Amino acid sequence: MSIETRRKPPSPLGETTTPVKRRKQSWWQRMWRDRMLLAFALPGMVLLLLFHYVALLGNVIAFKDYQPFLGIWESVWTGLENFDVLFNGDPDFLNALRNTLVLTFIQTVFVFPVPIVLALLLNSLLSERIKKLVQSILYLPHFLSWVIVVAIFQQMFGGSGMVNNFLRSNGWAALDILGNPDTFFALLTSQVIWKDTGWGTILFLAALSQIDSSLYEATAVDGAGRWRQLWHITLPGLRGIIILLLILKLGDSLSVGFEQIILQQAAVGVQASEVLDTYVYNNGIVGGSWGVSTAVGLVKGLIGVVLVLAANKIAHAFGENGVYKA
Amino acid sequence: MTTTQYSTSQASSGASGRKTKAPPPPRRRRRTVNGVEPPGLIMRAIKGVVLTAACAAVVLPFLGILSTSISSPEHVTRNGGFVILPDTLNFGAYQSILSGGVVTQALAVSGFVTIAGTLLSLFVTSLLGYALARPGAFGMKAMLLLVLFSLLFSPGMIPSYLVVKEVGLIDSLWALIVPSLVSGFNVIVIRAFFSQIPSELLESARIDGAGEWQIFSRICLPLSKAVLAVIGLFYAVSYWNAFFNALLYLNDSAKWPLQLVLRTYVVNNAQLDQGDLSGVMESMPPQPSIQMAILVLSLVPILIVYPFLQKHFAKGVLTGAVKG
């Protein structure tokens, strides 16, 4: 290793040119110098630009009367006409918005704390082997697709599923669990809990293992019991990660369970199950009102970004790290 | 994740002074393990019940699905279409769906999409990650910003659909692969890993006359086998599980992947008849057995890669969370 490389701040993969004489190079020279790396980056960047950034530009049809046979550019500009649905309160849109917000609220209250409790339970297990076994069982559902999860729920709770077979064989009436619009949100919530609780414990378990165990010993000497330790040491130790995950959840608060709902919408009807994402799909791609659905999707995306940025600011204001430093 | 609050060492509080004075009354002193009082009998019982119930809620459905798919037709019919324990080993349902027809074809489609997609994704993602790990090179800082920003805002369903349509991928299997080929998050994870490789190593290779391609393929890739395995497995699971993009982009049911077949014949309960299976069986196995056999087929690849995933995924998730 030469002295020159030591003197310079180390760049991650080293320098392509020798740092001895650094004349200002022109753009073309630098491009030519790094042509190999640029070629490496090219396929990935082209795909990202096309399917992300060009697609982002495709949102212009929110301001147009998009006709598939005319194409994006030939379609007529209509200004904010497509946004009338939002401003004038179209009943279908309002219903979708209300369902989305209610579902997000329910899932934040009932789904979010479950992995924390499970992580505390797992963390307090004395036997390392039992802990590993329980973890490997509970993580599994996370890797199943929603199609499989919904199919499994049908086998358990459907008309000829396990629960109803049991009820019938004991002379009780069968329950309509999957097709009841009144309990649909509870069904969705329990599916989310079944699928993602185990997986959700990973980050909490990692945070728990970071807590300094001398804190527990010191408080035990001072006479603190298990519950006081939980309240004064464990939960404060989890505060950072809880806030981080809540921020991320807030950014996603307008998109809940799209695939999950699309798969089960037929059983309970649109009124009980429509959320913003399914509204965009049903009206745009199925129904053909491209402009209106794009407008709804665009506003939804913008609100999501604003929510994340705002929540991040608030977290910083309270002295927490948040998602990023800006 | 490996450390627990309770380990084998017995931390003692209040042990000093025991030599000279009489021991304090036992119920005043808290017995602790690493500073935490071990749970009492009731707490331990509650814990055991809760964790057993949680595990049963996951294991029981799997058992029932497998059992229904291999039970004899009479056993399945007698139990109303779903059994927990099989009476025999009867692979009739598997024979009928694997001997050609809709399900066999869907299995081939899903297999192709998963294997081709995963290999291409890994290749393109790691190339991009390698380039982005060199902030000194031309344009890399700007490109990194583009990748990071793409994580913040998704273009939305309809604009994405229109781009796929304009590119001419509608009704092509590549529509299931190309739009999701590069995940910005995975690029960031791989880049973070490549950035940690000591620059002396690469410097020495360069002095020996290695070009970028050689450094990438002979040094960086072998050093990052573990992280590539994790990311590859995550890509594979997401290709295998993809359902909605197939619904969106494929109108031709002959090109459907397994998840869409599963949705049609199991979730929506469409009738599969002799023609759909084109089997050579004289009698069809009962519908529930066939449905459960399809479900098992869609589960098996996940169950096969699961042990490998499990070995690494915590590491992968945490790398992304910390370094991202």
Statement: residue B145 has pLDDT above 70:
yes
Question: Which of helix, strand or coil describes residue A172?
Answer: coil
Residue with tokens 């299995």: B107
For residues A261 and A184, is the Cβ–Cβ distance under 8 A?
no
CATH of A81-317, one of 3.40.50.300, 1.10.472.10, 1.10.3720.10, 3.40.980.10: 1.10.3720.10
Q: What is the pLDDT of residue B318?
A: 54
Nearest-CB residue to A1 (from B38, B203, B313): B203
Number of helices and strands in chain A (H, E): 19, 2
Average pLDDT over residues B87-101: 82
Q: pLDDT (tens digit, 9 = 90+) per residue, B6-15?
A: 433 444 444 4
Question: Dihedral angle at the C-alpha atoms of A320, A305, A97, B268, nearest 10 degrees?
Answer: -100
Q: Do B128 and A33 touch (CB under 8 A)?
A: no
Q: B35 contacts in A (CB within 8 Å)?
A: 213-220, 229
For residues B99 and B278, is the Cβ–Cβ distance under 8 A?
yes
Q: What is the pLDDT of residue B88?
A: 80
Q: Please tell me which residue of chain B has the smallest CA distance to A35.
A: B138
Q: Do A156 and B199 touch (CB under 8 A)?
A: no
The proportion of chain B whose per-residue pLDDT surpasses 90, expressed as a percent, equals: 36
Q: B140 contacts in A (CB within 8 Å)?
A: 37, 41
Statement: residue B28 has pLDDT above 50:
no
**Torsion sign over Cα B121, B296, A197, A307:** positive
Q: What is the pLDDT of residue B12?
A: 42
Q: pLDDT (tens digit, 9 = 90+) per residue, A202-251?
A: 889 888 988 888 888 888 888 888 888 889 999 998 988 898 888 888 87
Q: Do B128 and A40 touch (CB under 8 A)?
A: yes
Interface test with A, best of B10, B27, B36 (most A CBs within 10 A): B36
Statement: residue B317 has pLDDT above 60:
no
Q: Do A155 and B65 touch (CB under 8 A)?
A: yes
State the pLDDT confidence band at A190, using cuts at 50, 70 and 90. Answer: very high
CA atoms in the 13 A half-sphere facing the CB of B62: 15
Statement: residue A13 has pLDDT above 80:
no
State the pLDDT confidence band at B314, using cuts at 50, 70 and 90. Answer: low
Q: Could you give the CA distance from residue A275 to residue A94 in angstroms, rounded to a whole number?
A: 10
Q: Is A136 on the interface with B (CB under 8 A)?
A: yes
Q: What is the pLDDT of residue B106?
A: 92
Average pLDDT over residues B113-131: 96
Q: pLDDT (tens digit, 9 = 90+) per residue, B274-288?
A: 666 655 555 677 778
Statement: residue A64 has pLDDT above 70:
yes
Indicate the domain borders of chain A. 22-77, 81-317
Question: Dihedral angle at the C-alpha atoms of B43, B48, B49, B55, nearest 10 degrees?
Answer: 150
Q: pLDDT (tens digit, 9 = 90+) per residue, B233-287?
A: 889 999 999 999 999 999 888 899 999 999 988 888 777 766 666 555 556 777 7
Q: Please tell me which residue of chain B has the smallest CA distance to A42.
A: B128
Average pLDDT, chain A: 85
Q: Please tell me which residue of chain A has the smallest CA distance to B265.
A: A151
Average pLDDT over residues A77-91: 85
Angle between helix A184-210 and B41-70 (nearest 10):
120
Q: Please tell me which residue of chain B has the smallest CA distance to A152.
A: B61
The proportion of chain A whose per-residue pLDDT surpasses 90, expressed as a percent, equals: 34
Number of helices and strands in chain B (H, E): 15, 0
| B35-66 exposure pattern, b = at least 16 Cβ within 10 A, e = fewer | bbbeeeeeeeeeeeeebeebbebbeebbebbb
Residue B52 CB partners (closer than 8 Å, separation 6+): none
| CATH code 1.10.3720.10 for B95-323 | yes
Q: pLDDT (tens digit, 9 = 90+) per residue, B203-212?
A: 899 899 888 8
Statement: residue A172 has pLDDT above 60:
yes
For residues B82 and A161, is the Cβ–Cβ distance under 8 A?
yes
Q: Is A46 on the interface with B (CB under 8 A)?
A: no
- Residues in A 215-254 with any Cβ partner in B closer than 8 A: 215-221, 223, 225-226, 229
Average pLDDT over residues B2-25: 46
Q: B143 contacts in A (CB within 8 Å)?
A: 41, 45
**A47: distance to nearest CA of chain B, Å?**
7
Average pLDDT over residues A193-201: 92
Q: Could you give the CA distance from residue A209 to residue A195 in angstroms, rounded to a whole number?
A: 24
Nearest-CB residue to B55 (from A27, A137, A206): A137
State the pLDDT confidence band at A5, using cuts at 50, 70 and 90. Answer: very low
Q: Do B152 and A50 touch (CB under 8 A)?
A: no
For residues B175 and B244, is the Cβ–Cβ distance under 8 A?
no
Q: B293 contacts in A (CB within 8 Å)?
A: none
Question: Which of helix, strand or coil describes residue B117?
Answer: helix
Q: Please tell me which residue of chain B has the smallest CA distance to A10.
A: B199
Average pLDDT over residues A51-65: 91
- Residues in A 163-202 with any Cβ partner in B closer than 8 A: 165, 168, 194, 197-198, 202
State the pLDDT confidence band at B199, using cuts at 50, 70 and 90. Answer: confident
